[in-house]
Structure 1
Amino acid sequence: MEPLNHRELLVLLEQSEPGFLAGTFATVFPRSVDQEGEAGAFTCFDGGFWDVRYDTGRRTLLTPWGSLTVSPEGSEDHGPAMADRPRVPPWSLVVPRCSTFLGRACDSWQIDAGKPMAGQGDSLTVVLTSLEQPSATGTLTVDTRLRVIASVDLGHVVQTLTIDRTSPGAADAAAFRKLRIAVRPFGAR
Structure 2
Amino acid sequence: MEKANAEAHNIKGLIKGDKLVQKAVYDAFAPKMLAACQNFISDRTLAEEAMNNGFVKVFFNIKKYKQEGSFEGWIRKIMIRESLSFLRKKKFVIASQSEIILEKQKTYQKPVEEVSEIQQLIERLPIEFKIVFNLYAIEGYSHKEIAELLKIPETTSKTRLFRARKILKEQLQTIKKANGRF
Query: TM-score w.r.t. structure 2 length?
Result: 0.25
Report 1 or 2 for greater relative contact order, CA contacts < 8 Å, sequence distance ≥ 6: 1
Please identify the structure whose Cα radius of gyration is greater: 2
Please state which structure has a larger fraction of its residues in helix: 2
Higher strand share: 1
Q: Which TM-score applies when normalising by structure 1?
A: 0.24
